[in-house]
């Protein structure tokens, strides 16, 4: 079980104004197939995770299922960061919105390079992995149906669900929410927390771990 995912979710139990848009001709959610997402949700429910009494363990099992089905558990945090750099995300403001095509390109880069690192008998189905990850991500983060997700949202979800050492993930997160002097910016932390807690919400655990105004002060 990925320690960063479990520790982050359980640890939070208890501004970005830039809305620049990229690629105006984006595909809207209504035009893309939700078949992959529906199958993913159906398969997850078939695991009977909801019989698990404690919310932390139940949520962790659901997110581990998402990690496995999307093959993100095979991708190291450093490979995720490199994919962000290759696709220019490190030069964009956190509030910049990415359309479906742009996000698909980033996921394609991640999974294509993953297959290059894997042996022949370990190859993954790149198209299926992209489809599952893309549909799950947009269903969880494109709540207003615009067919766009913010740069920060993409960074948060992929850096959380990938594999890697906890310390490396935390260092990456801190770099995203601190200023040039290495001091954490509260508004950036709040935005990060909103995106982080959208992850358990995307597996129907919002009542237990959803964001509220007191979460950042907990």
Domains of the chain: 3-14+30-208 (1.10.238.10)
Question: Does the pLDDT of residue 113 top 90, yes or no?
Answer: yes
pLDDT beyond 60 at 14: no
Percent of the chain with pLDDT over 90: 75
CA 190 centroid distance within chain: 16
Cα(166)–Cα(172) distance, rounded to whole angstroms? 10
**Phi, psi torsion values for 142, nearest 5 degrees:** -100, 65
Q: Is 147 left (phi over 0), alpha (psi -120 to 50) or beta?
A: left
Question: Using CA atoms in the order 85, 87, 92, 94, what is the torsion angle rounded to 10 degrees?
Answer: -90
pLDDT of residue 212: 67
Kindly tell me if the per-residue pLDDT of 53 is higher than 90: yes
Per DSSP, helices labelled H in the chain are 3-11, 35-46, 55-70, 77-86, 100-117, 126-141, 151-161, 166-177, 186-201, 206-209
Residue 99 is given by DSSP the state E
CA distances from 167 to 162, 172, 176 (A): 13, 9, 14
Q: For 162-207, write each residue's pLDDT tens digit.
A: 999 999 999 999 999 999 999 999 999 999 999 999 999 999 998 7
> In whole angstroms, what is the distance from residue 103 CA to residue 97 CA?
10
pLDDT tens string 120-169 = 999 999 999 999 999 999 999 998 899 999 999 999 999 999 999 999 99
Of the chain, the percentage scoring pLDDT greater than 70 comes to 81
Residue pair 189/177 in contact (Cβ under 8 Å)? The answer is yes
| Confidence at residue 30, expressed as pLDDT on a 0 to 100 scale | 40
Q: For the purposes of burial, counting CB atoms within 10 Å of the CB of 109, is it exposed (0-12), middle (13-18) or buried (19 or more)?
A: middle
Query: What span, in angstroms and rounded, lies between the C-alpha atoms of 38 and 28?
Result: 17
Whether 48 has a pLDDT exceeding 70, the answer reads yes
Distance CA 77, CA 157 (A): 11
- Report the pLDDT value the prediction gives residue 213, as an integer from 0 to 100: 66
């Amino acid at each position: 079980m990925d320690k960063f995912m479990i520790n982050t979710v359980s640890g939070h139990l208890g501004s970005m104004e830039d809305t620049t848009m990229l690629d105006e001709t984006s595909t809207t959610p209504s035009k893309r197939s939700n078949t992959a997402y529906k199958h993913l949700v159906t398969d997850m429910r078939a695991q009977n995770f909801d019989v698990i009494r404690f919310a932390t363990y139940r949520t962790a099992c659901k997110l581990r299922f998402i990690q496995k089905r999307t093959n993100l558990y095979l991708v190291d945090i450093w490979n995720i960061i490199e994919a962000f750099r290759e696709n220019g995300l490190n030069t964009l403001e956190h509030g910049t919105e990415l359309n479906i095509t742009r996000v698909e390109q980033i996921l394609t880069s991640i999974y294509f390079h993953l297959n290059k690192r894997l042996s022949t008998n370990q190859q993954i189905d790149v198209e299926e992995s992209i489809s599952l990850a893309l549909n799950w991500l947009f269903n969880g983060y494109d709540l207003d149906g615009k067919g766009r997700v913010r740069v920060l949202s993409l960074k948060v979800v992929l850096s959380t669900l990938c594999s890697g050492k906890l310390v490396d993930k935390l260092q990456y997160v801190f770099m995203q929410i601190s200023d040039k002097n290495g001091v954490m910016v509260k508004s950036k932390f709040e935005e990060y927390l909103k995106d982080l807690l959208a992850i358990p919400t995307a597996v129907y655990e919002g009542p237990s771990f959803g964001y509220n105004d007191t979460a950042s002060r907990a």
